[in-house]
Every structure is written in C-alpha cells, then in structure tokens.
Amino acid sequence: MRPSTIRLSLAVLLAGSTAAAAAAKPEDAIRYRQAAYTMIGWNFGPMGQMVKGKTPWNPGEFAQRADRVAALAPQLLEGFPEGSQSGAKTGAKAAIWTDMDDFKAKMDDFVRQSQALAEVARSGDEAKAKDQFGKTAQTCKGCHDKYRSKD
Ligand code: HEC
C-alpha cells in the first residue's frame, strides 16, 4: 500500500470510531460510566480499609488496586456524551452538561491525583501512599457533592 493510501484508510478508520462514539445510545453511555465507577469503587474500597487500618497494610495489593483506578480514571469522561442526562436510571445531575468545563476540570483533577497515587504506591512509601489516598478521595467527594444525586 502506498503511504497516501495508508493515511487515507487510517483517517477513515478514525472517523468511523468517532462516529460510533457519538452515536452511542444514552442508556449505553450510562451503563458504561456506572460500570467504570463500580470498578473504581471495587478497588478504592479495600484501599480505604487499609488506610484506615481496618485491614492489614498490604503494599502489593494497594499498588495493584491504585494502578487499576489510575487506568480507569481517564476512561470516564467518554461516558458522559451530550444527551446522556437521561435514558436510564442515573445519579448524574443535569448540571454536568451545563457546567461541562468545570466537570472536566474535576475529572482532570481526579485523573492527576489517581496517577500520583499509583506512582507513590509503587514506591512503597506507606505514609505517602496514605496521604495521597486522602487527596484522591477528596477528588471523588468534590465531584459527587456537586454532580451526583444522593438517592
Ligand atoms: C468528575 C466527577 C466524578 C469523580 C472524580 C468521581 N465520581 Fe463517582 N460518580 C460521578 C457521577 C456523576 C456518578 C453517577 C453516574 C451515573 O449514575 O450515571 C458517579 C457514580 C459513582 C458510583 C456509583 C456507580 C453506579 O453503579 O451507579 C460509585 C461507586 C462511584 N461514583 C465511586 C467513585 C469513586 C470511588 C471515586 C474516586 C476514586 C469517584 N467516584 C470519582 C462523578 C464522579
């Protein structure tokens, strides 16, 4: 294949995937983001238990769970396409779509803090890992307080 043909195929491919994402049904986007949050919570919970001393400190497990959260965090935003305010039972407030810049900033903050958490957890420094866990948890709360309904 000539380079120009390859470039063209790639462009077609990329355009195709963007179109597919834009056409996602609201209920599918809602299910997708709830699944991602469920996986984040699944990992974040046991980390919190360790931080609070309710379960023994296990640096290997803590680092593995921190890695998972850091990998999932950047995948959340695409679960909030325009039009997915409703379509299935959701705890997402409509303010997300009217304040999208602020919502994105909060999401960026979470992504950054969760990446810092994964790094510090890998270093094995318990005190720093616990401190960074607290900072990351604050980003969950900061977003939930404003954009998640409590029902
Ligand atoms: C930038 C905003 C934002 C951040 C950061 C955030 N969340 Fe959420 N979270 C939401 C919203 C909005 C929902 C509701 C989604 C829905 O129901 O459509 C939600 C829902 C959830 C749910 C329920 C999922 C379900 O099945 O309904 C859990 C669990 C959760 N978040 C945990 C966390 C944890 C733990 C963190 C941090 C480690 C976090 N979230 C960070 C906005 C955020």
For position 150, what pLDDT does the model report?
A: 82
Contact 69, 43 (CB under 8 A): yes
Residues near 123 by beta carbon (within 8 Å), at least 6 away in sequence: 129
Joined together, the tokens standing for residue 142 give 């900061």
> Does the structure show a pLDDT above 90 at 10?
no
The CA 25 to ligand 1 mean position distance, Å, reads 20
Question: If you search the block for the tokens 């931080």, which residue do you land on?
Answer: 51
pLDDT digits (tens, 9 = 90+) for 37-62: 999 999 999 999 999 999 999 999 99
Q: 93 C-alpha to center of ligand 1: Å?
A: 11
Does the pLDDT value for residue 4 go beyond 80?
no
Q: How confident is the model at residue 16 (pLDDT cuts 50, 70, 90)?
A: very low
Residue whose CA lies nearest to ligand 1 atom number 3 = 143
| Ligand 1 center–CA 147 separation, angstroms | 9
- What rounded mean pLDDT belongs to the chain? 90
Distance of CA 144 from the midpoint of ligand 1 (Å): 7
Look at phi and psi of residue 87 and say left if phi exceeds 0, alpha if psi is from -120 to 50, else beta.
left
Q: Is the pLDDT of residue 11 over 80?
A: no
pLDDT in tens, 92-129: 999 999 999 999 999 999 999 999 999 999 999 999 99
Of the candidates 142, 140, 120, the residue with the CA atom closest to the CA atom of residue 129: 120
What is the rounded average pLDDT of the residues 74-100?
Answer: 97
Give the span between the Cα atoms of 25 and 86, in whole angstroms. Answer: 10
Q: Band of the pLDDT at 136, cuts 50, 70, 90? A: very high
Q: Give the number of other Cβ atoms within 10 Å of residue 90's Cβ.
A: 20
Mutation to probe ligand 1, out of 144, 147, 149, 150 (largest number of atoms < 8 A from CB)? 144
